[in-house]
Amino acid sequence: MVRRRVLLRALVGGTGAAVLGAVCGATTSPPSATRRRYRIGTLTQRVAQCERVNEFIVTNGAAVKTIQTAPVRTDFCFIEGVILDALEKRGYRQSENLEWIVANPADYLATGVADFAAPAKALVALHVDIIGTSNVNSTVAAAQTTTTTPIVVASSSDIQDTGLIASLAHPGGNITGISGRLVDITAKRFELLKETFPWVKSPILVYGNFAPHLRNLEAALEAGRRLGLSAVAILVTGDGTDFMAKAKRTLDDGSDSLVAMGTPGPPEQIVPLVKERRVPAICGTEFGFLEAGAPVGYGTSLDAQTFAEYADRIFRGANPGDLPIVAPKTFELVVNLKAAEALGFTIAPSVLARATRLIK
């Protein structure tokens, strides 16, 4: 513990790195790899399953990991590992020429912009070369903390609606990365729900305490109404206890299915309801929802290669504001046949035919 605190103080007091010459484009050979170490700080939600004992130092509202242990790799905790793999293909290796620092809110599962303020400040104090964010709230907190440290968004929705960028093609400032349209994904999930389970009429729309969820909630409900679905929106926060109680009452009152808006919370807050009440459900394809027992998932795939490309270009001197914010490149439709059978559902042949992956 003492050694880690000394390390944290040393990192905070570091003088930073030399300025690189401007070189753009993908490469497999890092710039000046023998002369310096590059430092990426990730600003993410704190999840107990993604931690090992004594890896994080918790202080002043932030939980920070500076020791260079490999990330936990599970169905829910996969983003770090996938991005590190993509960075390694470009010549950036953890513990060699790359430091991978993780900063979370001190409270588990905290998701508000204010919750990310302290860890964002910790990353700036650690003089990271890039801050990597994984949702809009963490991106907003990072942008409110620094206008100079490059911010690369690994996964987000509707960043163009935040006021943080000038445009997707020319974001300006210090932000770039990957961002999709949440309402489009949610509308597609409603369509798949209707096609997969034709009898449903009143799904629960589960949403999280994220700005894009709140901004797009009415549009998402309208997308359901256009398909003849009378959706009931329920917010999931904290440990999910309140959501579970409200969702059970809503099912008792006539709701018959469930659609997740984006990733509203971890699967253990949502999937148990699906299994207990045998509810038709469409969730995302990531973070372990399908592995936890959701029957169908639809969503974007994490574009780790673009994150790694942008990090490489920034390390070589590119201005993040000149790098366009791109849409997700690939979409997945995954059917968990094992879960569907356990729940007593038969998946429509048209859905099975389009599935990019089957879990048997």
8-55 residue pLDDT tens? 333 333 333 333 233 334 445 666 544 579 999 999 988 888 899 999
Beta strand spans in the chain (E)? 38-43, 57-59, 62-65, 98-105, 130-133, 151-153, 175-177, 203-207, 232-235, 257-260, 281-283, 296-300, 331-336, 357-359
Is residue 256 one of the residues assigned to a domain?
Answer: yes
* Residue 134 shares a structural domain with residue 25: yes
Statement: residue 300 has pLDDT above 90: no
Q: Inform me whether the pLDDT recorded for 107 exceeds 50.
A: yes
Residues 174 and 83 in one domain: yes
The CATH number of the domain holding residue 22 is 3.40.50.2300
| One domain for residues 295 and 307 | no
Looking at the fold, whether 189 and 120 belong to one and the same domain comes out as no
The answer to whether 285 touches 299, Cβ cutoff 8 Å, is yes
- Distances, alpha carbon 69 to alpha carbons 16, 38, 54, in Å: 22, 16, 11
Range of the domain at 123: 2-6+16-178+303-322
Instruction: Compute CA distances 203 → 10, 18, 182, 197, whole Å.
Output: 52, 54, 18, 11
Residues 238, 280, 210, 285: is their CA dihedral positive or negative? positive
Domain co-membership, 244 together with 313: no
User: Given pLDDT bands bounded at 50, 70 and 90, which one contains residue 118?
Assistant: very high
Q: Is the pLDDT of residue 3 over 70?
A: no
Share of the chain above pLDDT 70, in %: 90
Q: Please indicate, yes or no, whether residues 339 and 202 belong to a single structural domain of this protein.
A: yes
218 and 99 in one domain? no
Rounded to an integer, what distance in angstroms lies between the CA atom of residue 93 and that of residue 28?
12
Mean pLDDT of 136-164: 93
Residues 351 and 215 in one domain: yes
SS3 205: strand
Give the SS3 label for residue 267: helix
In a domain, 210, yes or no: yes
The Cα 145–Cα 2 span in angstroms is 28
Q: Is residue 11 part of a domain?
A: no
**Residue 254 half-sphere exposure toward CB, CA atoms < 13 A:** 6
What total number of domains does the chain contain? 2
Higher pLDDT, 155 or 168: 168
Q: Is residue 99 part of a domain?
A: yes
> Residue 74 is which amino acid?
T
Q: Which of 260, 83, 84 minimizes the C-alpha distance to 178?
A: 83
Residue 236 covered by a domain: yes
Local structure of residue 325 (DSSP, 8 states)? P
Report the relative pairing of strands 257-260 and 130-133 from DSSP bridges: unpaired
What's the N-to-C CA distance of the chain in angstroms? 44
Is the predicted pLDDT of residue 115 greater than 50, yes or no?
A: yes
Query: Of 113, 160, 118, nearest to 141 (Cα)?
Result: 113
The per-residue pLDDT for 211 is 83
Q: Is the pTM of this model over 0.85?
A: no
Mark whether 111 and 242 lie in a shared domain: no
Residues 149 and 99 in one domain: yes
Count, residues in the chain: 360
**Rounded Cα gap, residues 48 and 78, in angstroms:** 14
Strand order in the sheet with 232-235: 232-235, 203-207, 257-260, 281-283, 296-300, 331-336, 357-359
pLDDT at 29: 65
**Same domain, residue pair 96 and 109:** yes
> Vertex 59, ends 58 and 61: CA angle to 5°?
95
Q: Give yes or no: residues 308 and 340 share one domain.
A: no
Region 123-152 average pLDDT: 96
Q: Is residue 222 scored above 50 in pLDDT?
A: yes
